[in-house]
Structure 1
Amino acid sequence: MPDTMTMSHAAARVEALIGQLLGGKMGSYIAGEIIPGTGAALTLTNPADGKALLSFADAGASVVEQAMQAARGGQRAWMAQTAAARGRAMNEIARLVRAHAEALAELEMLSAGKPIRDTRGEVAKVAEMFEYYAGWADKLHGEVIPVPSSHLNYTRPEPLGIVVQITPWNAPIFTAGWQIAPAICAGNAVVLKPSELTPLTSLVLGKLCEMAEDVPNGLVSILAGAGPTTGAAAVAHPDTRLVVFVGSAEAGAQIAAAAARNIVPSVLELGGKSANIVFADADIERALIGAQAAIFGGAGQSCVAGSRLLVDRRIHAQFVERLAAAAAKIPFGLPSDPATQIGPINNRRQFEKIGAMVEAATQSGALLATGGGCPNALQSSGGYFYAPTILADVARDALIAREEVFGPVLAVLPFEDEADAVALANDTPYGLAGAVWTQDPGRAHRVAGAVRAGTFWINGYKTINVASPFGGFGRSGFGRSSGREALSAYTQIKSVWVETAANPAAPFGYVG
């Protein structure tokens, strides 16, 4: 920990938690040790006050090589165990996560700026992820195929080997668990690089994985480093067999291209501009609450955020008025306060991007119904707080209606009828999520079938579970990162042919 900085209360608490959870060292977690980086200094900042928490050195290519060497041995040792033993070990990881839940939640709150009420829930979901995939560990099996010959033909699902995973800053521990659990369930080793802005809880999760009995060192490594250096080295490494990326479409395209040059497949979970559709016959009170949860939960820093609200023109004006009044009442403030529902934006760059997009929208004619900028009461904090913001009268071709903001900013657009709502919902290159609010069951299912999105809710929003497949259409990426479907991405199928005939035909060759 740097002693040249003025130590804030948050920095002091982070230092104490790192001492408790990581032995007081900062670096990459590899084979049971914290390995210092070799590159430029990176500084973590507290989103709630803009002050430095700690600095560490970018891992770099040499540390990536150490992680890969450890992963090779860890993966071999992991697959030497029975599937049942691997399942028991994964349940033990879940137990360790629960045992350290409060410390993990606090560390996530301090470093990522997420409200403590959210981080506690997300840590609990990480434990559920390992428990869910623990149950799959001894149920991955092939099948016998009735081929039209005298052969016994059967298939074997086999692990890929070493999987590189790159996770974002908006939900660090949640996305780390979301990716690690299915990968090791299928028998792979993981080299995970979290965002350089939020590596701390991922490092702890990596350590907890290998603290579990029968989990070999090297099975889960966590790289503390930047994307263009450490991440690029991991993606390009010759031992990498799959690249999984969660983040922006722009970065995802670059990573997928780099993986392809290495003849390696990728799974991409990218951004979204999800449409939340409200018909005039909806339960308006429920729809009002749902619209707030869809965009303002997590301060809008969610890939599935319902950032486009499409409202039946017959109720549009009244709905916007009521929504703006309700949004202004949402508890907003320090993430350490259990009452806080909206905390700060994670980093200054994103905070400034949000402000620039809102300003451009209002200059182009959008009406600011509520919010915009940092609330007066929090301007002296130095934190990256952005008030819940609703923009009405948004043109359909406006940038704010087409591109992801990744903040608590809602663009409201009216529609004329069902066909217009579907057309407007699909008028985007993204396809991650969407929702419809209506009391007409026929319409609900028609719209669910017509909107191009990987996840769709009817009379609800943002419910996800590890048992259900999750992923996008179009510019939102490809592949699925949860449910049974995720396991197919982490396995490769081998076809085995056994000749069973007593005197099989010899279509070629002679006996010498």
Structure 2
Amino acid sequence: MSDRKDLLRRLMRDLGLGETVQSLVAGQLRDGAGGAVLLEDPYAQIELARYADCGAALSAEACEAAAAAQKEWVAGHSAAKRGDVMQDIARAVLDHHETLARLEALVAGKPIRDCRVEVAKVAEMFRYYAGWADKLHGEVIPVPSGHLNYTLREPLGVVFQITPWNAPIFTAGWQIAPAIATGNGVVIKPSELTPLTTVALVRIAEGAGLPKGLVNVLCGLGPTTGQAAIDHDAVRKVIFVGSPETGRRVAVAAAQALKPAVLELGGKSANIVFDDANLKHAALGAQAAIFSGAGQSCVAGSRLLVHQSVHAELTDMIAAGMNGITLGDPLDEATEVGPISNGRQFSHVSAMIDGARNEGAKVRSRDTTPDTGYFVPPTLLSGLESRATAAQTEIFGPVVTAIPFADEEEAIAIANDTSFGLAGAVWTADVGRAHRVASAVRAGTFWVNSYKAIHVSSPFGGSLNSGFGRSSGSDALMEYTSPKSIWLDSGKTPMIGFGYVS
């Protein structure tokens, strides 16, 4: 497997990263000062590299660099110029499209076909927010006092972003683009397990004209590197994408520092199929909803709610289709589903399947998996109640729990019988029912006769254990700006309620 290590070094050199994993601070690649962090190939199950945790001192340097660069980004670049730079970044990302996709596939274990799509979407994110850069404005408010009252939307200053291992470059673009479009500096900490494409993305952006130090990448651990950034005085807001458990810790740390947060957390999304739906389309949609990306998606359709009259037919269709899915090396063009991204998550998913079996679930899985890699076969669980552990806990793997329902009211009740509120879908030929269900199910994103259609122009986020705040669309611009209200007394005599002049 030494050829995979050689490939990693070659890809890193091609992207200007050298041959060791380093943080990017003030435009310079820097070694950390903490304990060793391992990068593992989830397919070959070999060590790809080791690097030192960034640590508190370098984290502080990154925050200070972002603060200095942010002032120049706003003072030295008009809003239109900032948009021009972001357009150049989008083009530069596409110039490195294949190299970025291959690096992502190798380290994160995502199929190369998926990685190519996600890199293209990152370019799209920069293009989209580039268009917004010179269109942010306030409003004039007709206050009754006779003042001229107007508002401005100002950048926060420096924001700290924490992104996950399941979609590293996608979530990096998802967060960085709106932050810099609104005039902020950024310190971003990707998962310690998948930091490389984020570093590469920012290096490419700097080569395209992004001021050095405006976006800094910390390669390291949450309790050390991440905590130091949250505590730094320059940081004005914290954005976290990841699990509810870690999100709670991040939210507490931010609150203790009196800083607001945006949390984009997990989900246990209900994919609802009525008896009048096109079952072939619904089956294909259900497979894509849970098996694509090896189920490692916050919006995965992990609860399949099926009308009792077609429950057996639909689940049989899905189970039969599992053997037609191609599992394999993420770098192989034919691979549709790669391995679980890391050993810890593989153990969690495997334990959840075992637990469901012990609770009485009927477990149907794909017959075979590759001989190497953290592979969990596409799996369908049936025979469980809505309150079963597997139906309530985010598994974050290619495992779907199928639950029958009798009517529309029960379907909605089961869909909302969870502590999450991120996404959901309904499959039906009844337009009225589609709108009723979409309105009644608690979800920040909801699809009708489709699944996983996401675009940077549309708001994304959830409620309850799925977090709070929005991280795309024009709503994200509000998360990265602060309104300022300005009052100008236009009268001949100032309206001063109380004063003293000697």
Q: TM-score if structure 1 supplies the norm length? A: 0.96
Partner of residue 34, structure 1: 29
- In structure 2, give the amino acid aligned to 1:271: G
Determine if the alignment matches structure 1 residue 378 to structure 2 residue 370.
yes
The Cα shift of 1:506 comes to 4.0
1:359 to 339, 354, 367: 354
Determine if the alignment matches structure 1 residue 107 to structure 2 residue 99.
no
Partner of residue 9, structure 1: 3
Partner of residue 179, structure 2: 183
1:73 to 68, 71, 87: 68
For the residue of structure 1 that corresponds to 2:68, the secondary structure is: helix
CA deviation vs aligned residue, 1:151-176 (integer Å, no higher than 9, x gap): 11110100001000000000000000
Determine if the alignment matches structure 1 residue 164 to structure 2 residue 157.
no
CA deviation vs aligned residue, 1:152-206 (integer Å, no higher than 9, x gap): 1110100001000000000000000000000011110010000000000000011
1:435 to 425, 432, 438: 425
Partner of residue 212, structure 1: 208
CA deviation vs aligned residue, 1:46-102 (integer Å, no higher than 9, x gap): 010110111110000011011011111110110011000000001011011000010
- In structure 2, give the amino acid aligned to 1:187: G
1:417 to 384, 407, 410: 407
Partner of residue 466, structure 1: 456
Correspondences of 1:282-301 after superposition (within 5 Å): 282-301=277-296
- In structure 1, give the amino acid aligned to 2:391: A
2:447 to 430, 454, 457: 457
Determine if the alignment matches structure 1 residue 493 to structure 2 residue 493.
no
CA deviation vs aligned residue, 1:462-509 (integer Å, no higher than 9, x gap): 000000000002110000000000110100011111111122344322
Determine if the alignment matches structure 1 residue 399 to structure 2 residue 389.
yes
1:316 to 292, 298, 311: 311
For the residue of structure 2 that corresponds to 1:130, the secondary structure is: helix
The Cα shift of 1:217 comes to 1.1
Partner of residue 192, structure 1: 188
- In structure 1, give the amino acid aligned to 2:439: G
For the residue of structure 1 that corresponds to 2:370, the secondary structure is: helix
* Contact 1:8–1:51 (8 Å) recurs in 2: no
Number of equivalences: 500
Higher mean C-alpha displacement, 500-509 vs 92-101: 500-509
Distance in 2, matches of 1:261 and 1:170, equals: 28
* Contact 1:210–1:219 (8 Å) recurs in 2: no
* Contact 1:242–1:264 (8 Å) recurs in 2: yes
Partner of residue 471, structure 2: 481
For the residue of structure 2 that corresponds to 1:309, the secondary structure is: strand
* Contact 2:293–2:337 (8 Å) recurs in 1: yes
Partner of residue 3, structure 1: none
The Cα shift of 1:32 comes to 1.4
CA deviation vs aligned residue, 1:287-307 (integer Å, no higher than 9, x gap): 010000000010000000000
For the residue of structure 2 that corresponds to 1:427, the secondary structure is: coil
Distance in 2, matches of 1:509 and 1:313, equals: 75
* Contact 1:43–1:52 (8 Å) recurs in 2: yes
Query: Among the aligned pairs, what percent are the same residue?
Result: 57
* Contact 2:103–2:197 (8 Å) recurs in 1: yes
Distance in 2, matches of 1:318 and 1:36, equals: 56
Distance 1:506 1:105, change over 3 A: closer
Partner of residue 233, structure 2: 238
For the residue of structure 1 that corresponds to 2:426, the secondary structure is: strand
* Contact 2:489–2:495 (8 Å) recurs in 1: no
The Cα shift of 1:332 comes to 1.2
* Contact 2:369–2:377 (8 Å) recurs in 1: no
Determine if the alignment matches structure 1 residue 124 to structure 2 residue 120.
yes
Correspondences of 1:32-71 after superposition (within 5 Å): 32-71=27-66
Higher mean C-alpha displacement, 459-468 vs 355-364: 355-364
Distance in 2, matches of 1:453 and 1:338, equals: 34
Determine if the alignment matches structure 1 residue 279 to structure 2 residue 274.
yes
- In structure 2, give the amino acid aligned to 1:437: W
* Contact 2:33–2:55 (8 Å) recurs in 1: yes
Which ranges in structure 2 are unaligned for 5 or more consecutive residues? none
Distance in 1, matches of 2:157 and 2:340, equals: 37
Higher mean C-alpha displacement, 329-338 vs 482-491: 329-338
Distance 1:20 1:117, change over 3 A: same
Distance in 2, matches of 1:334 and 1:302, equals: 19
Partner of residue 348, structure 1: 343
The Cα shift of 1:376 comes to 4.5
* Contact 2:64–2:234 (8 Å) recurs in 1: no
Distance in 2, matches of 1:43 and 1:415, equals: 46
* Contact 1:333–1:340 (8 Å) recurs in 2: yes
* Contact 1:277–1:310 (8 Å) recurs in 2: yes
For the residue of structure 2 that corresponds to 1:335, the secondary structure is: coil
Distance in 1, matches of 2:205 and 2:55, equals: 23
Higher mean C-alpha displacement, 252-261 vs 20-29: 20-29
Distance in 1, matches of 2:111 and 2:102, equals: 9
Partner of residue 331, structure 1: 326
- In structure 1, give the amino acid aligned to 2:55: G
Correspondences of 1:116-155 after superposition (within 5 Å): 116-155=112-151
The Cα shift of 1:395 comes to 2.0
The Cα shift of 1:334 comes to 1.1
Q: TM-score if structure 2 supplies the norm length? A: 0.98
Which ranges in structure 1 are unaligned for 5 or more consecutive residues? 1-6
Query: Once superposed, what is the RMSD of the aligned Cα atoms?
Result: 1.0
CA deviation vs aligned residue, 1:140-160 (integer Å, no higher than 9, x gap): 001111111221111010000
* Contact 2:368–2:377 (8 Å) recurs in 1: no
The Cα shift of 1:377 comes to 5.1
